[in-house]
Amino acid sequence: MNAPIRVTNNLEAFWMPFTANRQFKSNPRMFVAAKDMHYTTADGRQVLDGTAGLWCCNAGHGRPKITEAVQKQVAELDYAPAFQMGHPAAFELASRLVQLTPQGIDHVFFANSGSEAVDSALKIALAYHRARGEGQRFRLIGRERGYHGVGFGGISVGGIVSNRKMFGTLLTGVDHIRHTHDLTRNAFSRGLPEHGAEYAEDLERVIALHDPSTIAAVIIEPIAGSTGVLLPPKGYLERIRAICDKHGILLIFDEVITGFGRLGAPFAADYFGVTPDMMTVAKGITSGVIPMGAVFAKKEIYDAFMTGPEHLIELFHGYTYSANPVACAAALGTLDTYAEEGLLTRAADLASYWEDAVHSLKGLPHVIDIRNLGLIGAIELEPIAGQPTKRAFSAFLKAYEKGLLIRTTGDIIALSPPLIISKAQIDELITTLGDVLKALD
């Protein structure tokens, strides 16, 4: 017999994140169950998941191997400290992960979210240069419209104005290069935009402004996801890598969204053939089941810390829940699911079908751009004059009413379905979204 669903009429105590709290609590939207490609609402409706939760449920919902792994682990070993102690699953998981990462990236530092992974990578970058005798490298370079989580480090190197403006001066020693979005030249591009590789040269400008010897790291998303799916122009990432190499600067890829199959390869680094010095991941590492994040680092970064007396701590950083046993079990079950079902490359097989489907929305009311890569899509809408974000939010509400979950950021609709989506479900998603767009004011 199924356990009863807990429902409360008191919604006031929960201060909801990234949510219009007053609007939600006046007309709540509640999920009570999920399986494969669908959520179930409190009133029993099925909602097709067009966003893999929040870009995270790559394997879909309620997957047996992940569920069983979590159930077994929580009964066997619920918690073990990661400071000066270990447990087998942490080492097994790290070993399996580095079998998937690009060659040369072979160490894993565990955190509990993308935000923690980013802050960890930034700290490791600063400490790495100091360990090498270059402690003057203290500057961090992010990118406009970048999203790197919500820790102080992440919002400092991030470039989304609304995420930064309320929180004071943030970290010092941070600068930003320009974003890659060029609606004039690249609107309705299929796949990577042809124009804009030269935007990478803005990194040279910022480096010259500050002196390259002061810069520790550059952090970018290979694809800027949460700001509305901003794709790198052809040749852009290769140029960023070359500039960092030229000046001895670490390159960090934030792969929290692009990691674990989203583009049809294990990581965006594989897809683009550009290997960073560190990668941050989360979301798909456990298919969203248990919070977990990680930093992947090159051997030379790890080795720079492995000096001095062996009994001394090499890096004074970590979290109570680093490599939590239950999270490790979820991640191992997730990797098993990915491997058995070929999910880390499935998006490559669906990419062409997905691209045609998403671009079929061209010409509908208010659509000013469509972007796609792998199993990611974005539909940019013309804003309502004087009411930014309202048109896309209206689309979000109408889609939910019609049984489809989409994600909006500004006036952009972002799509990132679970990697198990079928062609028939792609058709359903696009047909429903098309009906929503046709009805928008």
**Please, are residues 378 and 411 in contact by the beta-carbon 8 Å criterion?**
no
pLDDT value of position 9 = 75
| Planar angle of CA 189, 190, 193, nearest 5 degrees | 50
13, HSE (Cβ side, Cα atoms, 13 Å)? 3
Q: What is the pLDDT along the chain (441 residues), one digit of tens a residue?
A: 465 666 667 999 999 999 999 999 999 999 999 999 999 999 999 999 999 999 999 999 999 999 999 999 999 999 999 999 999 999 999 999 999 999 999 999 999 999 999 999 999 999 999 999 999 999 999 999 999 999 999 999 999 999 999 999 999 999 999 999 999 999 999 999 999 999 999 999 999 999 999 999 999 999 999 999 999 999 999 999 999 999 999 999 999 999 999 999 999 999 999 999 999 999 999 999 999 999 999 999 999 999 999 999 999 999 999 999 999 999 999 999 999 999 999 999 999 999 999 999 999 999 999 999 999 999 999 999 999 999 999 999 999 999 999 999 999 999 999 999 999 999 999 999 999 999 998
For residue 83, what are the domain limits?
67-341
Per DSSP, 128 falls in state: H
Could you tell me if residue 280 is inside a domain? yes
- Please state the φ and ψ torsions of residue 415, each to the nearest 5 degrees: -125, 135
H-type helices in 248-296, by residue range? 268-272
For residues 152 and 36, state if they share a domain. no
Could you tell me if residue 14 is inside a domain? no
**Please, are residues 37 and 49 in contact by the beta-carbon 8 Å criterion?**
yes
For residues 203 and 264, state if they share a domain. yes
For residues 320 and 242, state if they share a domain. yes
Among the candidates 325, 341, 357, a domain finishes at 341
Could you tell me if residue 15 is inside a domain? no
Residue 377: strand pairing partners: 372, 415
Could you tell me if residue 10 is inside a domain? no
d(CA 72, CA 69): 5
For residues 76 and 143, state if they share a domain. yes
Q: Please report, in angstroms and rounded to a whole number, the separation of the first and last CA atoms in the chain.
A: 46
Among the candidates 315, 341, 367, a domain finishes at 341
**Please, are residues 262 and 338 in contact by the beta-carbon 8 Å criterion?**
no
d(CA 290, CA 59): 13
H-type helices in 137-186, by residue range? 152-157, 161-164, 183-186
Could you tell me if residue 6 is inside a domain? no
For residues 242 and 118, state if they share a domain. yes
Closest to 322 measured CA to CA, from 154, 70, 136, 84:
84
For residues 352 and 287, state if they share a domain. no
Q: What is the CATH number of the domain that holds 104?
A: 3.40.640.10
All residues at 6 or more sequence positions from 194 whose CB lies less than 8 Å from its CB, including other chains: 185, 186, 233, 234
Could you tell me if residue 12 is inside a domain? no
For residues 87 and 57, state if they share a domain. no
d(CA 52, CA 66): 16
Q: At what angle do helices 236-247 and 202-210 cross, to 10 degrees?
A: 20
Could you tell me if residue 224 is inside a domain? yes
d(CA 259, CA 276): 13
Among the candidates 309, 341, 373, a domain finishes at 341
For residues 306 and 423, state if they share a domain. no
pLDDT value of position 292 = 98
Q: What is the CATH number of the domain that holds 366?
A: 3.90.1150.10
How many structural domains is the chain composed of? 2
